[in-house]
Amino acid sequence: MPPSDAPIALRGVGVTYPGGTRALTDVDLEIRSGEIFGVIGESGAGKSTLLSLLTGEMAPSEGGVAVLGADPTALDPVALRALRRRIGVVFQGVHLLANRTVRQNVALPLQLRGRRGRADSAARRDLVADVLRFVGLDGRADAYPAQLSGGQRQRIGIARALVARPDILLCDEPTSSLDAGTTDGVLALLREARDQFGTTVVVVTHDLAVVRRVCDRVALFEAGRLRDILSVRPDTGHGTESYLDRARRELGT
């Protein structure tokens, strides 16, 4: 595909699963450096497939994908691991290890890099301490996941994704199980990650309110097709129109 300065670029991307199910069709998309970019759509719109393309877990059936200047599916295993170190992922279910403390959960990405020795261990402790302060949970470093609220666990998931200072942060329905107050705190952390670290943030969600509160732009997907890309405005509205029409009215400029 043609070169692009954007950290994420897709050109003519299509994905067909074995058996013939079409997940994405002819998607052209660029996500700018340092923006918070929303991806919305109802179930089956292709959002999860898009995330799998960006992490290199899946190859497109047609077209090309570039993440931080590289095609993930063209990389050898060593280069792909190096690329993935530059991408943080916040999962919908958080997926913390129950038998590890908060500190140990957050340190896991650094341990998987294979750091060794006292100097590296000390640097790792400092990085973990810094990111726990960033998410406001430095006082819970020795707690276990079962001792935390849902909002605290999601904050730890964000801390784990940010500890290696990734260039890109992918968030899969990061607020789906949280109440309104806790959601506000999580969205504030995503804004702060962009503002403090320059991280490019992608938020995949079905919730228009989340997009309206945190995103700069949003891509609207329906049945595997990219229907629109909007600059997000803060005002709201109500109506009985379709999901896409409501998204255009509530979010777009």
More confident residue, 141 or 237: 141
Rounded mean pLDDT of 83-104? Answer: 90
Q: What is the pTM of this model?
A: 0.85
| Angstrom distance (rounded) from CA 207 to CA 79 | 35
Number of H helices, E strands in the chain: 8, 9
Give yes or no for a contact between 50 and 34, defined as CB atoms under 8 angstroms apart: no
The percentage of residues in the chain with a pLDDT greater than 70, rounded to a whole number, is 91
Bridge-based pairing of strands 36-40 and 217-222 is parallel
Q: In angstroms, what CA-CA distances link 193 with 95, 165, 189?
A: 21, 9, 6
Give yes or no for a contact between 36 and 194, defined as CB atoms under 8 angstroms apart: yes
Give yes or no for a contact between 126 and 207, defined as CB atoms under 8 angstroms apart: no
Hey, where are the domains in the chain?
A: 96-164
- pLDDT for residue 253: 62
